[in-house]
C-alpha cells in the first residue's frame, strides 16, 4: 500500500500484541513489514483457541498483522539467525517486543545491530523500560499496563472491585506511540 513510509523496510520480531500492532501501523503507512515467526508461529495465532472459539480465521491476530509479509525462521538455528541478519541488513527499521536479554543472546541487541548497520532504526517495546530492576522482566498488558500504571485503580469506584480489563488495550496504546 502506498503511504508516507513507502520504500521503508521493517523487520519485525514480535509476539502477541504490542510489537505486531506497531508493525501493523507501519504497514498501514506503506512500509514493507516482514514479520519473522518461530516454527510454532506467533502465540497470538492460537488466541481464539485459548478462549474456546472454533473459528476459521483469527481476527485478533489478523488485526495486528495486517499488510505484512512473514517468514518462518528458527532463531536457535545458526543458519536461520544468519538469514535474519541478512534481512536486517536489507532493512531500515528493526522492531521487536522480545525481552532485551533474549535479543542479546541472539546477537540482535541494539549495540550489535547498530555496529553492523549504523543507519538502522532500532525500535524496542518493553513493559518496564530499558533500565532498572525490571528492565528485562517479561511484560504483558494486564500487569504492565493495567496494574503497574494504576489505571485499574483509577477506573474503580470506591469500594468496588476493579473492572474487567480487556487484554490488549495497553498494548495497542503503546503500539501507536
Q: Is 32 a catalytic residue?
A: no
**Residue ranges of the chain with per-residue pLDDT less than 50:** none
pLDDT of residue 54: 82
Q: Which of 42, 109, 141, 171 is catalytic?
A: 171
pLDDT of residue 1: 62
The owner of cell 492460537 is 46
**Residue 173 backbone dihedrals phi, psi, to 5 degrees:** -65, -45
Q: Domains in the chain, please, with CATH?
A: 9-139 (3.40.50.10540)
pLDDT of residue 66: 97
Amino acid at each position: 500500500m502506498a503511504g508516507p513510509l513507502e520504500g521503508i523496510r521493517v523487520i519485525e520480531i514480535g509476539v502477541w500484541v504490542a510489537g505486531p500492532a506497531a508493525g501493523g501501523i507501519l504497514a498501514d503507512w506503506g512500509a514493507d513489514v516482514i514479520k519473522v515467526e518461530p516454527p510454532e508461529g506467533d502465540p497470538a495465532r492460537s488466541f481464539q483457541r485459548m478462549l474456546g472459539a472454533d473459528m476459521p480465521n483469527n481476527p485478533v491476530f489478523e488485526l495486528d498483522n495486517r499488510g505484512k509479509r512473514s517468514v518462518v525462521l528458527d532463531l536457535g538455528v545458526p543458519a536461520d539467525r544468519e538469514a535474519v541478519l541478512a534481512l536486517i541488513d536489507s532493512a531500515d527499521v528493526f522492531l521487536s517486543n522480545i525481552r532485551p536479554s533474549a535479543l542479546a543472546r541472539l546477537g540482535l541487541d541494539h549495540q550489535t545491530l547498530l555496529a553492523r548497520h549504523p543507519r538502522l532504526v532500532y525500535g524496542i517495546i518493553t513493559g518496564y523500560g530499558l533500565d532498572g530492576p525490571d528492565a528485562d522482566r517479561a511484560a504483558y498488558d494486564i500487569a504492565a499496563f493495567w496494574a503497574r500504571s494504576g489505571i485499574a485503580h483509577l477506573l474503580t469506584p470506591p469500594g468496588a472491585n476493579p473492572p474487567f480489563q480487556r487484554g490488549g488495550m495497553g498494548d495497542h496504546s503503546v503500539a501507536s506511540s
